[in-house]
Homo-oligomer: A and B are copies of this chain.
Amino acid sequence: MSEVIPEFSQNANNMRKSVIRELLKLTQQPNIISFAGGLPAPETFPVHDLEEATQQVYKKSAVAALQYGATEGENPLKAELIKYERSRGIQVEKGNLLITSASQQALDMMPKIFLDPGDCVLAERPTYLGAIQAIQSYQGKIIGIPSSADNDGFDMVEMGKRYERAKAYGEKVKYIYVIPDFQNPSGICWSLEKRKALLDFAYREKLFVVEDAPYREIRFMGESIPSIYELDQKGKNEGNVICLKTFSKILAPGTRVGWILAREDIIQKLVIAKQAIDLCTSPFMQYVIAEYLSMGKLDALIQATRDNYREKRNFMLKMLDKYMPKRFDLTWTKPEGGLFLWISLPHYIDTEKMFYRAVEKNVAYVIGSAFYFDEAELNCMRINFSYSSFEQIEEGVKRLASVIQDEIDAHESGPRGQTCPEGIC
């Protein structure tokens, strides 16, 4: 058999070989406690209310919901989203909205409409894996900006340097990608000053800012800070901020519905792109969500989710305090929102190598290197606190702590180099 060998595109060859996918497959064994996924707590899904909303759709709009829809999105959902945004102080009209097949689709559309191969994006280092994958699938380059020592956003001095260096080398920076609220994976929340400084920089350099805001509503302590989209709207109003939102973290990810806020000319370009991508997002799911929103229960649901995640976050922090080895070089973040903690381990621990031993002990995490697009930091991991039960959190942290302790012991008892054959310690 002379098989026809596929010759894939550069785009396809540039797609990240998914080490992480392979690792995550290992976590599907029955006894594993997985802190790896970014899954919302299933107990927050308003199953009963969604069922009622769905019944209403079958009763009132079955044919429209089951037929093809407009690429822009269904009018009933757009009307509800306008109310939602206005209740949060954002002025939008229908022309500023595009319904997407959740945020990942929006993340795919940004490089699609902005990047030619080799074009650059400024982004936090580390940043969301799905955004990295999307940018790389169009052969875009990411210029990583470290966060400041205060963990309140970009190190602006470093950003300036790296941006100027890129320009000097003839690189084209097309947009800035940030997750200002409870960044994935670091949990960092940008301060008001940093948001303003970034916007000013973007105005000055005539750049677009892509503000990815999936966790914005999931703040369980501290005070909400205006989004960069809002700051522009209430500032110069140049419309150079594109804000990506989703129902995945505030309602249910299985619906696969999100939305983009942007200037009308940008939305129009995105509509043309989306037409060739999937014609439209499921009108059925859009009608179900519109019906659910019209019940007026979303705000209470978000509040309940916040309460749930605050408790789980606090409990996980307590368990980390209780079980983790006490060391200056073993630290974790204490985020005011979102779904994740970020753990930094002693420099000689490679969390990818440790992963197999963790899985043997029936606990899993995401290796930190997954979130880097340049030289990865190898001694970090992301753990999720929203999905597991309290019992699982305690038991999982206990297992994780013992795996880490074993690594430390092996390093400290052996001759230097024994546990780090590749010379990284």
Contact = CB atoms under 8 A, between A and B. Distances in A.
Contact of A255 (B66, B111, B237, B254): B66
Interface in A225-280: 236-240, 248, 252-256, 265-266, 269, 272-273, 275-280
A282 B285 contact: yes
Contact of A102 (B1, B203, B278): B278
A173 to B, nearest CB: 11
A69 B3 CA distance: 32
A41 B54 CA distance: 22
A21 B275 CA distance: 10
A54 B47 CA distance: 12
Contacts of A256: 101, 278-284
Interface in A282-296: 282-285
A3 B255 contact: no
Contacts of A50: 58, 66
Interface in A202-224: 202-203, 206-208
A101 B104 CA distance: 13
A130 B284 contact: no
A133 B272 CA distance: 9
16 contacts: A2-B238, A3-B238, A4-B203, A4-B208, A6-B266, A15-B273, A16-B272, A42-B63, A47-B58, A66-B252, A101-B278, A104-B279, A133-B276, A255-B284, A256-B284, A278-B278
Q: Interface residues of A toward B: which range?
A: 35 or more
B113 A9 contact: yes
A255 B116 CA distance: 33
Contacts of A37: 68
A40 B112 CA distance: 31
A253 B66 CA distance: 6
A134 B112 CA distance: 12
Contacts of A276: 15, 104, 107-108, 130, 133-134, 136-137
Nearest to A71: B21
A174 interface: yes
Given A45-B66, A66-B45, A238-B4, A11 B113 contact: yes
Contacts of A2: 238
Contacts of A102: 278-279
A157 interface: no
Nearest to A105: B278
Contacts of A248: 68
Interface string A365-389: 0000000000000000000000000
A168 interface: no
Contacts of A3: 238-240
A105 B277 contact: yes
A47 to B, nearest CB: 5
B273 A130 contact: no
Interface string A1-41: 11111111111100111100100000000000000011110
A8 B279 CA distance: 21
A237 B269 CA distance: 42
A164 interface: no
B39 A63 contact: no
A166 interface: no
Contact of A63 (B15, B47, B54, B66): B47
A170 to B, nearest CB: 15
Interface centre among A114, A116, A134, A239 (most CB of B within 10 A): A116
